[in-house]
Amino acid sequence: QVQLVESGGGLVQAGGSLRLSCAASGYTFRTYHMGWFRQAPGKEREFVAGIVWDGVSTSYAESVKGRFTISRDNAKNTAYLQMSSLKPEDTAVYYCAADLNMLALKSGARYWGQGTQVTVSS
């Protein structure tokens, strides 16, 4: 059974930091590209960050560049999203996702986690 389980969400004040984790199981983690998405109430799901299978390349939404960092530890089957300088507009449910193809991941990943709520207060 494929499982992606996010953790680390919560309530934080503007300017603060959070680190989200995504624990993966049931597939060959190290061969899959990983990504983070978010969805705010009334808005479409938005790509936030992606990292290729071996970690050598990353990509970010323009709105989070310089503030968020995606990483992965293939030995632990875990992906991370370090979020700093958080803003109220970052408030959303954050989802972890995986796919063998990065373009496919960005347009609708093969595997998804259940999401974790991040709320940034002003």
CB 22 within 8 A of CB 41: no
Could you tell me what percent of the chain has a pLDDT over 90?
98
How much is the mean pLDDT over the chain? 96
Confidence of residue 68 (pLDDT cuts 50, 70, 90): very high
Distance CA(28)–CA(34), nearest Å, equals: 12
**Tokens coding 5:** 């389980």
Contact 56, 62 (CB under 8 A): no
CB-side neighbour CA atoms (13 Å) of 88? 2
Per-residue pLDDT, 23 = 97
**For residues 17-37, average pLDDT:** 96
